[in-house]
Structure 1
Amino acid sequence: MVASPSPRNEPIAGRHRVAVVGGGSAGISVAARLRRAGVTGITLVEPSDSHWYQPLWTLVGGGQAPLRSTRRPEASVVPDGVRWIRRAARAVDPEARTLTLDTGSELAYEYLVMAPGLQLDWDGVPGLAGAMAHDRVCSNYAPEYAPRTWELIKGMRSGTAVFTHPATPLKCGGAPQKIAYLAADHWRRRKVLDHIRVVLVIPDPVLFKVPEWERVLERVARRYGIEVRLSSEMTAVDADRGEVVLTDRANGTAETVPYDLLHAVPPQSAPDWVKRSPLADPASPQGFVAADRHTLRHPRYPTVFTLGDVANLPTSKTGAAIRKQAPVVAANLIDAMAGRRPARRYDGYTSCPLVTARDRMVLAEFDYDLKPAPTFPLIDTFRERRDMWLFKRYALPQLYWRGMLTGRI
């Protein structure tokens, strides 16, 4: 049921048993699981009328999937029995247990699930916001820019292509390099790769934090002749001149690199209102929400749980992580409502489907300790496989729409 907008500055009647902030994969998955468990009085706060399957945007940018296949109406994924308030949250008072909406209205809750995702800070790099209007700059991190990525890739025959990765936590940490491999493989097949300088900018001292997959990706980068800049980040863009400044994080030296294609990934952080809230973790420079790493309960406010991209957890922000976090939040929230101590634990599991070619992929699965945590025991996911690419392209989207968002998997 879609709620009618409440009058400005008037409270939304009654105290809502469970308020879920965010209608993305995290919020919808938890709401669906709670409904399946018989929980009533759930209210979803989400302003958008579109729900996006974002993991496929890499393949949209690589020319392997249409953008339209990644979108469905938000109303189609809201679970039956959940009240949807199509407004944006703008403040939270966890002491009073109220949310302030963009209308100025207040919503009172008994329990709160924080899943508003993160924000893309296009202004976080000087010149980047304006550069997105230029025809040589693209990004798979927004639906309005991802199709341009493929247009630029397929039209390139020579020059310099730069692919960047921000130094902040980000959604799908492997995506900034996956598109570099897709592009390089396309150029190799078109026999123009020898005429293109491919620069991959990585803020960490290693290409991937888990050694087992780092070795695989190092071989992939060498195969394509990619110039990998470790411990580096994009610090400025001049789109009129077609130049990007790359700064070495180890010694502070900066280099201006001309580009013919720039795939830019912006810095990312918690939404501004979350940063200003008491829920923000003081240890997080980006204002992500504090959470016990195992129970996903807020350490200071026991009626608050969090998951997904907004949670300050020492693991990669991926849809696979959310798939494991959602049942933990739902079960622990039900325990809390019943006066029990939350018993379910999250071990930090996440996975990154690392597309390494136009028909190959490796699946990196690991936990908080960066130890491999494979879920396909009979399949070697440490090597590039075509069946894994087919799994990402065709199986995972169906599992997402029909299983994860409905609380079945």
Structure 2
Amino acid sequence: MSTVQLAAARLAAARLAPARSLLRCHSARLSSTAAAAPPSSYRVVVVGGGAAGLAVSSTLSEKLGANEVAVVEPSEVHYQQPLFTFVGGGLKSFKDAQRPTADVIAPQAKWIRQAAAALDPAQNTVTLADGTRVGYEYLVVAAGIELDFGAVKGLEAAIGRDGVASNYSPMYVQKTFEFLQAVRGGNALFTMPATPIKCAGAPQKIAYLADELFREKGIRDRVSIGYYTALGKIFAIDKYAAAMDAVARSRGIGVHLLHDLVAVDGPARRATFKVLGSGPAAGETVTVPYEFLHVTPPMRAPGFISRSALANAAGFVDVNQHTLQHARFPNVYALGDCSSLPTSKTAAAAAAQARVLKHNLLRQIRGAAAADAAPAAEYDGYTSCPLVTGKHKLVLAEFSGYTGQPHETFFFNQANEHAFSYWLTADVLPAIYWRSMLKGTWSGPAAIRKVANPTGSG
């Protein structure tokens, strides 16, 4: 190449350099964008395939169409957890409380068979356990609450053996009845922790069923039953607290308030409680031997929620208690046990919340400013806690967690033990759960209340 040709080539290269640099930058941006973009995205992503998540996703997928709604749920089995008390008490089969998830998830919804690992509301993404990210326009968090057996010293080693069971876990619920049948005497203890929990009546319901079982076996005089609760009264709502105090006294069940389980020695069969409150014994520990121990473990919000920008100080999804919309991210909603809603965490509450959430989310998607848009719906804190007190006996607590006032569906005093209330809870509500709630068509007994108890008084 001549000197002239070499100079010309260098000049051409210099002229092209800025263009090549711009092309490299543009290519880099494209590569970065491709790497950052989630491989899949949906109009609505629902995190959680429990009762609350399915009640929402079934309706939304029907309204929005196929594959517009994705459900992030790792479990292949769906459990009807309200039945676990009956299973633990020997009144229902474990099979009655479960269905394959594939059979209960809406066919129009996309089922993502993984656990959520992280939530990024700033980027509108959910990161899955395998690192994959899923995008969304709207997010519904219905991830439930986690059992924290590790929060009690020695409990993880003892649970499922050494006479220790829990109706709160599908792994151990069948152990409850097995261990109860093995009791011949001694102490039978039942615990309630200081943390928020799902179905706050369940810790004491199994105590009443155990009492009945021991009486049927003719050994009740040889068994001392104790209910140890970290709370200051047996039930949060005064009307039902009075009723349950009376039931416990009539059965000879000792109620120990402000006693929080802190340690279990399985081989020695000893449970240690810390005394809470401000009384003279506050801060002290009490160790009690047991033959049978039913533990309601401490519970907490799932870690991927508490670590996210969606969480409040307690780790739960921070939502408006009336609209269920997030306090800071308007395209995010939450309901059920993982939400910050200040009411009892029950399936009945989730059903009522689902109606409000679906109405408000669809209203937002369709344009709330439209002239024909319906007004926003509001949740009033309604919840229900059926308190089983024996075979064919039940106190049907219904109330607003926001006001603390009873909100009963039927005309009779639901604080009294009724066979009708038992039949409703044991036979009717399970059918409604499978056939209607999970399909999004059951939102609670409000319509029935208008006829059966128009004033809603207790």
TM-score, normalized by length of structure 2? 0.84
Residue ranges of structure 1 left out of the alignment (5+ in a row):
1-8
Aligned residue for 2:394, secondary structure, equals strand
Match of 1:13 in 2: 39
Aligned residue for 2:106, secondary structure, equals coil
Q: Is the 8 A contact 1:165 1:201 kept in 2?
A: yes
| Pair 1:63-2:90 in alignment | yes
Match of 2:450 in 1: none
Instruction: Give distance in 2, aligned partners of 1:133 and 1:240.
Output: 12
Deviation at 1:39, TM superposition (A): 5.2
Match of 1:162 in 2: 189
Match of 1:308 in 2: 336
Instruction: Give distance in 2, aligned partners of 1:208 and 1:330.
Output: 31
Q: Is the 8 A contact 1:29 1:407 kept in 2?
A: yes
Deviation at 1:10, TM superposition (A): 8.7
Match of 1:262 in 2: 293
Match of 1:227 in 2: 254
Deviation at 1:14, TM superposition (A): 4.1
Deviation at 1:340, TM superposition (A): 1.3
Relative distance call for 1:53 and 1:133 in structure 2 (3 A) is: closer
Which amino acid in the other structure matches residue 267 of structure 2?
Answer: D
Q: Is the 8 A contact 2:40 2:133 kept in 1?
A: no
**Which of 265, 278, 292 in structure 2 is aligned with 1:238?**
265
| Pair 1:351-2:384 in alignment | yes
Q: Is the 8 A contact 1:237 1:243 kept in 2?
A: yes
Deviation at 1:55, TM superposition (A): 0.4
Instruction: Give distance in 2, aligned partners of 1:36 and 1:384.
Output: 40
Instruction: Give distance in 2, aligned partners of 1:171 and 1:323.
Output: 14
Q: Which has the higher helix share?
A: 2
Relative distance call for 1:97 and 1:258 in structure 2 (3 A) is: same
Instruction: Give distance in 1, aligned partners of 2:305 and 2:42.
Output: 20
Deviation at 1:31, TM superposition (A): 0.8
| Pair 1:366-2:399 in alignment | yes
Deviation at 1:12, TM superposition (A): 4.9
Write the deviation string for residues 338-374 of structure 1: whole angstroms up to 9, x where unpaired.
2317701000000000001122001000001111001
Relative distance call for 1:133 and 1:407 in structure 2 (3 A) is: closer
| Pair 1:84-2:111 in alignment | yes
Deviation at 1:303, TM superposition (A): 0.5
| Pair 1:375-2:406 in alignment | no
Instruction: Give distance in 2, aligned partners of 1:191 and 1:358.
Output: 16
Aligned residue for 2:333, secondary structure, equals strand
Aligned residue for 1:90, secondary structure, equals strand
Match of 1:294 in 2: 322
Instruction: Give distance in 2, aligned partners of 1:65 and 1:121.
Output: 26
Deviation at 1:390, TM superposition (A): 1.3
Which amino acid in the other structure matches residue 44 of structure 2?
Answer: V
**Which of 58, 68, 80 in structure 2 is aligned with 1:32?**
58
Instruction: Give distance in 1, aligned partners of 2:104 and 2:122.
Output: 31
* Segment drifting more, 11-20 vs 111-120: 11-20
| Pair 1:395-2:428 in alignment | yes
Instruction: Give distance in 2, aligned partners of 1:405 and 1:182.
Output: 28
Deviation at 1:408, TM superposition (A): 1.4
Match of 2:307 in 1: 276
Residue ranges of structure 2 left out of the alignment (5+ in a row):
1-34, 370-374, 443-458
Q: Aligned residue pairs: how many?
A: 397
* Segment drifting more, 124-133 vs 337-346: 337-346
Match of 1:3 in 2: none
User: Identity over aligned residues, as a percent?
Assistant: 43
Instruction: Give distance in 2, aligned partners of 1:213 and 1:276.
Output: 36
Deviation at 1:182, TM superposition (A): 0.6
Instruction: Give distance in 1, aligned partners of 2:116 and 2:171.
Output: 24
Relative distance call for 1:156 and 1:14 in structure 2 (3 A) is: closer
Deviation at 1:154, TM superposition (A): 2.0
Aligned residue for 1:37, secondary structure, equals helix
Instruction: Give distance in 2, aligned partners of 1:153 and 1:375.
Output: 34
Instruction: Give distance in 1, aligned partners of 2:160 and 2:437.
Output: 35
Relative distance call for 1:48 and 1:11 in structure 2 (3 A) is: farther
Instruction: Give distance in 2, aligned partners of 1:352 and 1:39.
Output: 35
Aligned residue for 2:376, secondary structure, equals coil
Q: Is the 8 A contact 1:216 1:382 kept in 2?
A: yes
Instruction: Give distance in 1, aligned partners of 2:39 and 2:102.
Output: 22
Q: Is the 8 A contact 1:22 1:44 kept in 2?
A: yes
TM-score, normalized by length of structure 1? 0.94
Instruction: Give distance in 2, aligned partners of 1:10 and 1:379.
Output: 59
Which has the larger Rg? 2
Q: Is the 8 A contact 2:162 2:267 kept in 1?
A: no
Instruction: Give distance in 2, aligned partners of 1:10 and 1:148.
Output: 47
**Which of 432, 437, 446 in structure 2 is aligned with 1:404?**
437
Match of 1:6 in 2: none
Match of 1:173 in 2: 200
Write the deviation string for residues 132-158 of structure 1: whole angstroms up to 9, x where unpaired.
142311100111211111112122121
Deviation at 1:195, TM superposition (A): 1.1
Write the deviation string for residues 80-130 of structure 1: whole angstroms up to 9, x where unpaired.
210111011100110110111111111110000001111101101111111
Deviation at 1:13, TM superposition (A): 3.1
Instruction: Give distance in 2, aligned partners of 1:393 and 1:33.
Output: 26
Instruction: Give distance in 1, aligned partners of 2:345 and 2:251.
Output: 27
Q: Is the 8 A contact 1:10 1:105 kept in 2?
A: no
Write the deviation string for residues 20-56 of structure 1: whole angstroms up to 9, x where unpaired.
0000001100011223434551011111110000000
Q: Is the 8 A contact 1:172 1:316 kept in 2?
A: yes
Deviation at 1:15, TM superposition (A): 2.7
Deviation at 1:272, TM superposition (A): 1.1
Report the aligned-residue RMSD: 1.4
Which amino acid in the other structure matches residue 24 of structure 1?
Answer: G
